Amino acid sequence: ISEVDFQDSINVLGFSDELNKSLLQLYLDNRKEIRSILGELAPRLPSYHSLEWRLDVQLASRSLRQQIKPAVTMKLHLNHNEDQSAQVLQTDPATLLHLVQQLEQALGEMKMNHCRRIVRNMK
């Protein structure tokens, strides 16, 4: 990250100006080593490949003639290094809707200045 971004990041911690300058100088002296260490420590997470989904609805059973029981079944295909894997997930539509709302809220929070600064510093 640039000097300005680093200073912005440490200013919010409330340290004295002398300590901020010392931290900045220490960061500038060891920037390449810090980057290489952080690159090694980064988790190797699976990435999205594709998603298959199906809506199942049970309309009746022997004991209940009029019963509507929907379920969403999803097969999530992931890539991890050169390997591919699949996870099968099943949920009801209400829980799926709640999950979508939570994800949309998280995406909205990513637009806040504090989150943008953190993401910019992570790159």
Look at residue 45 in the predicted model and tell me its pLDDT: 86
Q: What contacts 119, CB < 8 A, 6 or more positions away?
A: 110
pTM (2 d.p.): 0.55
Look at residue 68 in the predicted model and tell me its pLDDT: 83
- Residue-wise pLDDT tens digits, 48-71: 999 999 999 988 877 777 778 899
> What strands lie across the sheet with 47-58, from one edge to the other?
47-58, 69-80, 83-91
Look at residue 42 in the predicted model and tell me its pLDDT: 75
Look at residue 82 in the predicted model and tell me its pLDDT: 83
Which ranges of the chain have pLDDT less than 70? Answer: 121-123
Look at residue 61 in the predicted model and tell me its pLDDT: 78
Look at residue 121 in the predicted model and tell me its pLDDT: 67
Look at residue 115 in the predicted model and tell me its pLDDT: 78
Look at residue 104 in the predicted model and tell me its pLDDT: 95
- DSSP labels, 19-62: HHHHHHHHHHHTHHHHHHHHHHHS----EEEEEEEEEEEE---S
